[in-house]
Amino acid sequence: MYSFMGGGLFCAGVGNILLIVSTATDYWMQYRHSGNYMHQGLWRYCVTGKCYSHTDSIAYWDATRAFMILSLLACFIGIIIGILAFIHYSSFERFDKTFAAGILFFISCIFVLLAMAVYTGVTVNYYGKRYGNWRFSWSYITGWVAAVLTFFSGIFYMCAYRMHECPRNTSPH
């Protein structure tokens, strides 16, 4: 049980760091415009070394930002509850912290997947038609890796919950 929780905490910790990096950095997409290489993230776009804030409130950026922030919060709260389950903190007897942490990690994964789906769909349909020379960049890829890690965190915690709820009978029949 503890090995599953330890693996879940490790995946969640790395996933949360990757979520922060992915959300905060400006390399979700790179493209060439007017002979200059440009890159953009969720908060800013950069042209030849100068970065500018996105001043337009475009729905897909707002949705992607919101889903990424919700994912960060769910993952962070899941890590806190997961640590409390790991150290057997027992202030809430009727509240199974292992199960709650697993559910929060799955919720975090769903939010990341929603953010990535919104961003991917709009980017491919808009920039794919407008610019010929564009690509997704490392911040975007980091978001996908974070989705996988938060999913495996949920799996690990659900396995730990299952082992705790259904212990094996080691006595002979």
Pairwise CA distance, residues 145 & 122, whole Å: 20
Find out whether 141 and 169 touch, Cβ atoms under 8 Å: no
pLDDT tens string for the chain (173 positions)?
A: 668 888 999 999 999 999 999 999 999 998 877 777 888 899 998 888 899 998 887 888 899 999 999 999 999 999 999 998 888 766 556 678 889 999 999 999 999 999 999 999 988 888 777 767 888 999 999 999 999 999 999 999 999 888 866 555 555 55
DSSP result, 65-128? HHHHHHHHHHHHHHHHHHHHHHTT--S-TTS-HHHHHHHHHHHHHHHHHHHHHHHHHHHHHHHH
